[in-house]
């Protein structure tokens, strides 16, 4: 028969909603550093963390649009967006820890 394609998205954290804030000091779901190359591998509808204006905490966001030199993130449930150009990626964007994403998904969806 046909093999079922895995729908696992290693950036999806089912226990967080878009716009939720996390503090990296007490959460290992955020990668400590993310390079521009790693961030460049993200696709539309992947999730990532965006640094908030307080410079301390991170917002869980989803990618709405990908350009070569910029990414448009939806940063809350009202649909507010933030576009970040490539030169800011390594400062303002952190990837989801993929092992934690898979762990939370397996807990939630079996």
The alpha carbon of residue 56 and the mean position of all alpha carbons in its chain are separated, in whole angstroms, by 16
Q: How large is the average pLDDT for residues 15-29? A: 84
Q: How confident is the model at residue 1 (pLDDT cuts 50, 70, 90)?
A: very low
pLDDT of 27 > 60? The answer is: yes
> Who has greater pLDDT, 62 or 100?
62
Reported pTM: 0.87
Q: How confident is the model at residue 3 (pLDDT cuts 50, 70, 90)?
A: very low
Which helix (H) or strand (E) segment holds residue 47: the answer is strand 47-51
Contact between 56 and 20 under an 8 Å Cβ cutoff? The reply is: no
> What are the CB-based long-range contacts (under 8 Å, 24+) for 55-58?
56/23, 57/21, 57/22, 57/23, 57/24, 58/21, 58/22, 58/23, 58/24, 58/30, 58/94
């Amino acid at each position: 028969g046909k093999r079922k394609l895995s729908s696992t998205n290693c950036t999806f954290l089912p226990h967080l909603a878009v716009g939720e804030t996390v503090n990296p000091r007490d959460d290992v779901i955020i990668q400590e550093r993310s390079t521009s190359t790693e961030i460049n591998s993200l696709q539309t509808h992947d999730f990532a963390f965006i640094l908030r204006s307080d410079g301390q905490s991170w917002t869980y966001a989803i990618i709405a649009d990908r350009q070569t030199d910029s990414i448009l993130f939806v940063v809350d449930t009202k649909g507010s967006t933030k576009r970040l150009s490539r030169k800011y990626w390594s400062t303002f964007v952190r990837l989801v820890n993929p092992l934690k994403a898979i762990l939370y998904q397996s807990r939630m969806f079996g």
